[in-house]
Amino acid sequence: MGSVTFMAESETEKLVVETESLDSSFVRKILKHPGGEQILVCFQCGVCTSSCPLRLISPEYNPRRIVKEALLGMKDLVLSSDFIWFCADCNACTERCPQGVNPSEVMKAIKNIAVEEGIAPPAVKKIVENIEEHGRLYPIEDFTQEEREMLDLPEIEPDVEVFKINKKKLLGEKT
Amino acid sequence: MSEFALFLGCTIPVRCLGYEASTRRIAEELGIKLVDLNFSCCGYPLKHVDVVTARSMAAANLALAESKGLNILTICSACSGTLTDAKFNLENDPSAEKVKKELEKQGISYKGGIWVKHFVRYLYEDYGVDRIKEHVKVPLKNLRIAIHHGCHYLRPSEIYDEFDDPEHPKSVREIVEALGATVVDYAGELDCCGGGTIAFNQKLGAALAKKKLDNVKRAGADAIVLFCPFCAIMYDGHQRFIEEQFKSGPYNIPVLFLPQLMGLAFGIDPSELGFEYNAVDVQPLLEKIGERK
């Protein structure tokens, strides 16, 4: 039985992780996912974290730490982290990463794996539902069409289907 | 006359009608014909769920424009990013095989014969700042403008052929200066509006927007100018909410879409530029421009 001592960013909090809880298949899963292919070349320089606008608001938001935890196989911790959903996808990290890790795409790969495993916030479910039903993020109400008419804007098709999606399949729900 | 498919996305035709109206109006002024097709969501929100599905939806929209032989102009930066990323992925990335398979299943074929650009990028790169200048009838001489670039207009620069420097962008600055206005520098100019976060955590998203409002206020700008619906919702739609939530401000910073500002400089009547949909009062700003007449 072993354990890994992981020094947190603040150096004040010591996190002890039982090695039995680590899942080495997690990184392999990320590597296979589009966007996650370069995660192994991360050398933990922290440019992503120093570029992260959320980090400036609150030190608990830390992309470098998420990548490190993923590399260590701390699957449950990463997938249950709020940060993966709060990431604004601003791409500042991706633009500056000297290793081409593409942290904002890694974050999406991790979110996609979370959804596969049935962990999706309600906001995500609503998004998928609307797009399945209407082909759009928001349904078009009569009120909107009237407002558009007043401004001489062209009427828009309320329901469009350019590419079909299946909500149940996407959210890993049983039929 | 140049003709393009206008990609409105989901948010603009519902929540940013002033942006749409002013874009159509200045396009007419500039001799740019915008064609409406039945596009769906670009796919961006599905990136959280499944990147392959998101890219497939984006590619299906590209295929629709391609079938009409039209290049795409977008006015939402997230749509720009998603459509450009799908095109880049299909043309450069081995992982695109999955996307191609999804398209095939639904009988969609995309050959890669068209391009996608944000309207602002098109104005800078193709239409030309000098030609924009020819349309200026009311130079905005006494206006101090804070530009908010937003994230997906510039980043990741790799997919945008590096048309502008992602750390020191100049495309929008040149357009705003061509209108006669002064561009005001401020701290955190390239920072995110928080729009991507707000659906999951309202306070955190609003805190990001607050930082910029504070910095713009400090710099003494008359207005923020931007060109993405989510950024507008954060700085304009949430400005009062931010004041209440953080006991900050009052800011009273008008937030204009770049086409609204261009319209004013072109001498178009403000009533044609959708200002009734701006949350923060723009009247003092309009009066400031009027003073020079």
- Same domain flag for B139 and B283: yes
Q: Is the predicted ipTM greater than 0.90, yes or no?
A: yes
Residue B201 to residue A82, Cβ atoms within 8 A: yes
Task: Answer whether residue B273 is part of any domain.
Answer: yes
Residue B95 to residue A53, Cβ atoms within 8 A: no
> Which part of chain A is CATH 1.10.1060.10?
3-116
Instruction: Find chain B residues with C-beta within 8 A of A132's C-beta.
Output: none
Q: Can you list the alpha helix ranges (DSSP code H) found in A53-121?
A: 53-57, 63-72, 75-79, 83-86, 92-96, 103-116
Mean pLDDT, chain B, as a whole number? Answer: 96
Task: Summarize pLDDT for B3-56 with one digit per residue, the tens.
Answer: 999 999 999 999 999 999 999 999 999 999 999 999 999 999 999 999 999 999
**Domain end residue (candidates: B89, B119, B149):** B119
Instruction: Find chain A residues with C-beta within 8 A of B156's C-beta.
Output: 91, 94-95, 102
Residues in chain A: 175
- Same domain flag for B34 and B165: no
- Same domain flag for B102 and B209: no
Strand, coil or helix: B225: strand
B40/chain A closest Cα distance in angstroms: 5
**pLDDT at residue B293, as a whole number:** 40
- Same domain flag for B74 and B151: no
pTM of the model as a whole: 0.95
Residue B50 to residue A115, Cβ atoms within 8 A: yes
Task: Summarize pLDDT for B51-106 with one digit per residue, the tens.
Answer: 999 999 999 999 999 999 999 999 999 999 999 999 999 999 888 999 999 999 99
Residue A120 to residue B49, Cβ atoms within 8 A: yes
Q: Is the CB of A166 inside 8 Å of chain B's CB atoms?
A: no
Task: Summarize pLDDT for B26-37 with one digit per residue, the tens.
Answer: 999 999 999 999
Give the CATH number of domain A3-116.
1.10.1060.10
Residue B10 to residue A148, Cβ atoms within 8 A: no
- Same domain flag for B65 and B186: no
Average pLDDT over residues B149-161: 96
Residue B41 to residue A136, Cβ atoms within 8 A: yes
DSSP state letters, B32-98: EEEEE------SGGGGGT-HHHHHHHHHHHHHHHHHTT--EEESSHHHHHHHHHHHHHHHH-TTHHH
- Same domain flag for B98 and B142: no
CATH code (residue B41): 1.20.1050.140
> Testing the interface with A: which of B17, B50, B201 to mutate, by most A Cβ within 10 A?
B50
- For chain A, positions 78-117, list CB contacts with chain B under 8 A: 82, 85-92, 94-95, 102, 105, 108-109, 111-112, 115
Task: Answer whether residue B124 is part of any domain.
Answer: no
Could you tell me which chain B residue has the CA closest to the CA of A92? B155
- Same domain flag for B93 and B165: no
Mean pLDDT, chain A, as a whole number? Answer: 91
Task: Answer whether residue B144 is part of any domain.
Answer: yes
Radius of gyration of chain A (CA): 20
A20/chain B closest Cα distance in angstroms: 29
- The whole domain housing B111 covers 2-119
Question: Smallest Cβ distance to B40: which of A94, A109, A161?
Answer: A161
Task: Summarize pLDDT for B224-256 with one digit per residue, the tens.
Answer: 999 999 999 999 999 999 999 999 999 999 999
pLDDT per residue of chain A (175 residues) written in tens, 0 to 9: 456 555 555 555 667 778 888 999 999 999 999 999 999 999 999 999 999 999 999 888 999 999 999 999 999 999 999 999 999 999 999 999 999 999 999 999 999 999 999 988 888 999 999 999 999 999 999 999 999 999 999 999 999 999 999 999 999 886 5
Could you tell me which chain A residue has the CA closest to the CA of B18? A151
Instruction: Find chain B residues with C-beta within 8 A of A122's C-beta.
Output: none
Nearest to B262 by CA among B251, B248, B277, B273: B273
- Same domain flag for B171 and B211: yes
Instruction: Find chain A residues with C-beta within 8 A of B38's C-beta.
Output: 157, 160, 162
Those residues with Cβ within 8 angstroms of residue B289's Cβ, 6 or more apart along the chain or in another chain: B138, B140, B142, B143, B264
- Same domain flag for B9 and B59: yes
- Same domain flag for B69 and B204: no
CATH code (residue B164): 3.40.50.11810
Nearest to B264 by CA among B119, B129, B142, B122: B142
- Same domain flag for B282 and B259: yes
**Domain end residue (candidates: B86, B119, B152):** B119
Is pLDDT at B271 greater than 80 in this prediction? yes
Q: Is the CB of A136 inside 8 Å of chain B's CB atoms?
A: yes
H-helix or E-strand containing A4? strand A3-7
- Same domain flag for B152 and B51: no
**Domain end residue (candidates: B85, B119, B153):** B119
User: Domain tally for chain B?
Assistant: 2
Task: Answer whether residue B157 is part of any domain.
Answer: yes
**pLDDT at residue A20, as a whole number:** 86
B48/chain A closest Cα distance in angstroms: 6
